[in-house]
Structure 1
Amino acid sequence: MQPYYRNNLVQLYTGDALQLLKSMATESIDVIVADPPYFLSNGGFTNRGGQKVPVNKGDWDQVTEKYQTSEEFNATFLNEARRVLKRNGTIWTFGSLHNIYEVGYLLKKFGYHILNNVTWQKLNPPPNLSCRMFTHSTETIIWARKYPKVPHFFNYNLMRRYNHGKQMKDVWSTPVIQQNERRFGRHPTQKPLSIITRMIEASTTPEMTILDPFVGSGTTAVACQSLQRHCIGIDISPDYLAIAQRRLVNQLTP
């Protein structure tokens, strides 16, 4: 299959990630960084920049005839992800209260060993429009390894140095996203570059290959390129991959 975009470190592919995963070689990936659909596109509304806007993000954020429930989708993804991971491989998976408990249950069901439940605290979350509950200001990142007793890589000393000589905790606080990270286009669920960079620095070495099966506007690819890691990214939307390509090319431009 021809890539949408390729350079010496990054390969981007257009297509259904769950189908493309099935064509990948067993135990060929060191680390997976995944931001799968949360399946929140249900006709509701949210707040963006003080404006009431629809919560619908696109067809990719809705259940389909192929995957009739979110559990069916996530089970297919996590099962294939485990197959392509190397024996000492790890996976990072984003989620919110809407899907993370299902993801955690499936990780245990398929034999993964959960290492951390990282809480990403958003310092500038949008307000809750209903005023009937607390403002949602966090998301969860589960970090798990393929096997319970096969050692994984963790760059403990670097994380400790970043945290002023103390062990880094599992609560990471950042703004939602910097505007300059969206200057080449907007993705509705784009994650901050600082968060992805920390994940990759913590769990990979330069010779490793990282897979992002829902790469969107390319934040994982941009982080990998900056850190001189090899990255394979997949997304069903050519429009989002075009944003990713512009970001990668800009990063390489002197």
Structure 2
Amino acid sequence: MRRKRLKRHKYKKLNVSSLIPYASNARTHTDEQINQIAASIKEFGITNPILIDQEGGIIAGHGRVLALNKLGIDKTPCIELVDLTEAQRKGYVLADNQLALNAGWDLDMLKIELEGLNDLEFDLDLLGFENDFIDNLLEPDQNEGLTDEDAVPDAPETATTQPGDIWILGNHRLMCGDSTDTGAVMALMDGQKADMVFTDPPYGVEYQSNKRTKTAKFDKLKNDDQILDITAVLKACSTGWMFIWTSWKVQNLWIDSLNEFGYPTNMVIWHKPGGGIGDLKKTFYSDYEIALVWHRGTELCGKRIGSVWTINKDGATTYQHPTQKPVALGVEAIDKTTKHDSTVLDLFGGSGSTLIACEKTSRICYMMEIDPIYCDVIIQRWEEYTGNKAELLQQLDEVSNG
């Protein structure tokens, strides 16, 4: 029995303008998809010739032709499919699109490939996947705690922690000290430099809401009547991304204070559903906070996201610190800018939310908190969340004296 010979198709390079779209093409192409194809062509070149009939009619490649026009590319490789019947031509127009859709993904293997590309700092946007799909696939397993991640113990009346104490909390370190003291922060860091800074300094606006002035639970935040100079500390003890939370009222003062790092790369807006309680001036309540962001060193991990993050705030009755933030806020920033076992510096520990975020995401937190009371809160919070016990390492004077 004689084998049927495969048809010999012709390779040509033709003007894009000479190619004729198929009038009955049932495949649709959004502007977003054309932009993705154009980006792919810019990155990889023209790797897939346009399939045409003998009159230059497009059989497969309508989206690529639209992308080539968008890029202003005049000529493209084509393959002329010869001796197709009318039925074969019409059938192949549909088959070329549908057969690829019938394939699936080995998600475990796909995750490995995406992680490898991510490590090589390849732009995952060029792959054509939906943002949510890649984010969900690459989202690392998080360490669940024994308590609610946002649960914060009541502040004790008297402190166990003393100024200068350094505590070991699993992989993390907490020091009771002044975050503007470079020597103290270097003792906290123990020779390490942070891959990321995520911190919430006193805003310099004497932060007090109306509700909080009615209870002794919230004393005036320490150092909130000034903009603290932390430039020297950040230069000495960190290298990567910086998130500095602040108020719109004093954002320019912080930008000026940190001018050695240049102008912020970004501003992240934390949108808090449910808003706030406003103030006695009967003006609009505030339903957002801002973080000034400086990009230093590494690129974003995974696919890019927007700069407005909608994350529920802690319930008003759970607040133990005037500027307390939900753990999910830290997790979002940490996951997008660092990898497992990266180091994160928080110079103003507050109630310890950054430390819990690091515990959840397998990062290592170095935390400074000036108030011994809140150091005790942070320690108890971590112990209850993990079921482990913190250990007092030594005091700063012991560290300094070797």
TM-score bracket, normalised by the shorter chain, equals 0.7 to 0.9
Q: How far is 1:94 from its partner?
A: 0.3
Output the CA distance in 2 between the equivalents of 1:26 and 1:112.
Answer: 26
Residue 295 of structure 2 corresponds to: 145
Residue 196 of structure 2 corresponds to: 31
Residue 249 of structure 2 corresponds to: 98
Q: How far is 1:195 from its partner?
A: 0.5
Q: Structure 1 residues 122, 251: CA separation in 2 closer, same or farther (over 3 Å shift)?
A: same
Output the CA distance in 2 between the equivalents of 1:179 and 1:193.
Answer: 15
Residue 235 of structure 2 corresponds to: 82
Residue 249 of structure 1 corresponds to: 383
Bigger Cα Rg: 2
Alignment of 1:13-52 (within 5 A): 13-19=175-181, 20-21=184-185, 28-41=193-206, 46-47=210-211
Contact 1:46–1:53 at 8 Å: present in 2 too? no
Residue 222 of structure 2 corresponds to: 60
Alignment of 1:100-179 (within 5 A): 100-107=251-258, 109-112=259-262, 114-146=264-296, 151-157=297-303, 167-178=304-315
Q: How far is 1:236 from its partner?
A: 0.7
Deviations along 1:212-251, whole A, 9 cap, x unmatched? 0101111111111111111110101111111111121122
Q: Structure 1 residues 78, 124: CA separation in 2 closer, same or farther (over 3 Å shift)?
A: farther
Q: Which amino acid aligns with 1:249?
A: E
Q: Structure 1 residues 94, 100: CA separation in 2 closer, same or farther (over 3 Å shift)?
A: same
Contact 1:115–1:144 at 8 Å: present in 2 too? yes
Output the CA distance in 1 between the equivalents of 2:209 and 2:361.
Answer: 37
Identity across the alignment (%): 21
Q: Structure 1 residues 248, 38: CA separation in 2 closer, same or farther (over 3 Å shift)?
A: same
Q: Structure 1 residues 135, 217: CA separation in 2 closer, same or farther (over 3 Å shift)?
A: same
Deviations along 1:58-84, whole A, 9 cap, x unmatched? 351444xxxxx42xx2xx213321232
Q: Which amino acid aligns with 2:248?
A: L
Contact 1:120–1:138 at 8 Å: present in 2 too? yes
Alignment of 1:4-15 (within 5 A): 4-15=166-177
Q: How far is 1:4 from its partner?
A: 3.9
Contact 2:270–2:311 at 8 Å: present in 1 too? yes
Output the CA distance in 1 between the equivalents of 2:384 and 2:216.
Answer: 31
Contact 2:348–2:368 at 8 Å: present in 1 too? yes
Q: How far is 1:99 from its partner?
A: 2.1
Greater share of strand residues, 1 or 2? 1
- Number of aligned positions between the proteins: 223
Q: How far is 1:179 from its partner?
A: 6.6
Residue 226 of structure 1 corresponds to: 360
Output the CA distance in 2 between the equivalents of 1:27 and 1:244.
Answer: 22
Deviations along 1:70-113, whole A, 9 cap, x unmatched? 2xx2xx21332123222xx1111101122222112333x21345
- TM-score under structure 1 length normalisation: 0.76
> Once superposed, what is the RMSD of the aligned Cα atoms?
3.0
Task: Name stretches of at least 5 consecutive residues in structure 2 with no aligned partner.
Answer: 1-162, 389-402
